[in-house]
Amino acid sequence: MIPDQQEVVRSIYGAYRLAWLDRSGMSHFNLSVDGFWRSFFAAVLVAPGYALLVVQDLVGRPEAVSPAWALVIETLGYVISWAAFPLIAVVVTHLLGLSRNYAAMIIAANWAAVIQIGVFLVAVALGFVLPALSGLTVTLATVAILFYQWFVFRTALDTTGGIAIALVLVDLLVNAAISLTADSLL
């Protein structure tokens, strides 16, 4: 289920509108069942940026890592990270009585990941150009990304800020656990 180019552009535009705190960004997503599954195509778009960040991390390690082993571990971690939060969120949104908007949240979050990786890559690139500001740019980008994710969750679920914060924290913890597990296997 690969979306056509028009759906990809429309969806990324919707994510872009959400980044500007424009709730109407939701109207650009395909909120159907097919749109839900096709939104995972965003993982393909995010993968090259993720791969660059992984390579940067591996090059900066003091110990040598087998490239083949790193490829296997990081690929598994990437796939698991794209599946873990949606699986957990289906239960959490059900328990919170928000399951009617579950698909919209996942669709919006998946397409928002394209914007998030772009912002993070710009921050990392600025850190290379201006090494003295590296920590600051990455920190500011991380805060902006977390705020953006909060807005996406709050908007897509049509819920309170507190519930959106809780979901951002769940996503953050899940991804941190996956990342730490992958790192421990390298």
pLDDT digits (tens, 9 = 90+) for 112-156: 999 999 999 999 999 889 889 889 999 999 999 999 999 999 999
The overall pTM is greater than 0.85:
yes
pLDDT digits (tens, 9 = 90+) for 157-179: 999 999 999 999 999 999 999 99
The angle, 0 to 180 degrees and rounded to 10, between the axes of the packed helices 134-157 and 5-19 is 110
Residue 32 in 3-state DSSP? coil
Name, in order, each residue with C-beta under 8 angstroms of 129's C-beta and a sequence gap of 6 or more.
Answer: none
Structural domain that includes position 125 = 5-185
Domain total in the chain: 1
Q: Vertex 122, ends 28 and 78: CA angle to 5°?
A: 70
* Helix, strand, coil % over all residues of the chain, rounded to 5: 85, 0, 15
Q: What is the DSSP secondary structure assignment for residue 3, as one 8-state letter?
A: P
The answer to whether 163 and 157 are in contact (CB under 8 A) is yes
